[in-house]
């Protein structure tokens, strides 16, 4: 850390305090060259990957848009808001844990499908009808069969 007063590169941490509410760390530092003190703050930056659409265009991840899609599928279904928020958190965490800078929107759609299957079977079919562009009644039947069959856990 460079000293803001003399631009020297040697500084020493005198005091460290964590602020759990805002996930920041406050550090009191002392410059070894000019002996002045200053404060720095550290905050973890968690970046979401950019999304690559089917047409090749790129867009930023937007939790609000994802929540809107899920809530549309869950409309008039008795699913708690906390359960939806937890599902959104799991999707975000999965995307972050991929460690990739860009992720295809189809991958996000698959994650949403998995979460909706756990939350509500009807919402799963509603979302699948748009996501997979159902065109025939057989498409709906296939989605219903997918929801009915017991899911094996993969690791």
CA–CA dist 132, 127 (Å, integer): 8
Report d(CA 70, CA 112) in Å as an integer.
8
Q: What tokens does 19 get?
A: 């602020």
The CATH number given to 50-148 is 1.10.472
CB 87 within 8 A of CB 118: yes
* Residue extents of the structural domains in the chain: 11-43, 50-148
Answer yes or no: are the C-beta atoms of 48 and 95 closer than 8 Å: yes
Least confident piece of the model among 1-5, 96-100, 123-127, 133-137: 133-137
State the pLDDT at residue 111: 95
What tens digit of pLDDT does each residue of 103-153 get?
Answer: 999 999 999 999 998 999 889 888 888 877 777 888 777 877 777 765 555
30-59 mean pLDDT: 91
């Amino acid at each position: 850390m460079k000293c803001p007063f003399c631009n020297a590169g040697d500084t020493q941490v005198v005091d460290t305090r964590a602020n759990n509410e805002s996930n920041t760390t406050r550090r009191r530092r002392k410059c070894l060259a000019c002996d002045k003190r200053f404060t720095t703050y550290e905050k973890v930056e968690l970046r979401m990957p950019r999304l690559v659409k089917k047409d090749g265009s790129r867009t930023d991840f937007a939790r609000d848009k994802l929540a809107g899609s899920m809530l549309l599928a869950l409309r008039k279904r008795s699913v708690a808001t906390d359960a939806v928020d937890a599902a959104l958190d799991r999707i975000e965490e999965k995307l972050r844990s991929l460690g990739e800078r860009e992720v295809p929107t189809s991958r996000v759609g698959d994650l949403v499908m998995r979460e909706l299957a756990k939350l509500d079977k009807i919402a799963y079919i509603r979302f699948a009808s748009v996501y997979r562009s159902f065109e025939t009644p057989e498409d709906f039947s296939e989605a219903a069969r997918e929801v009915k069959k017991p899911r094996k856990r993969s690791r």
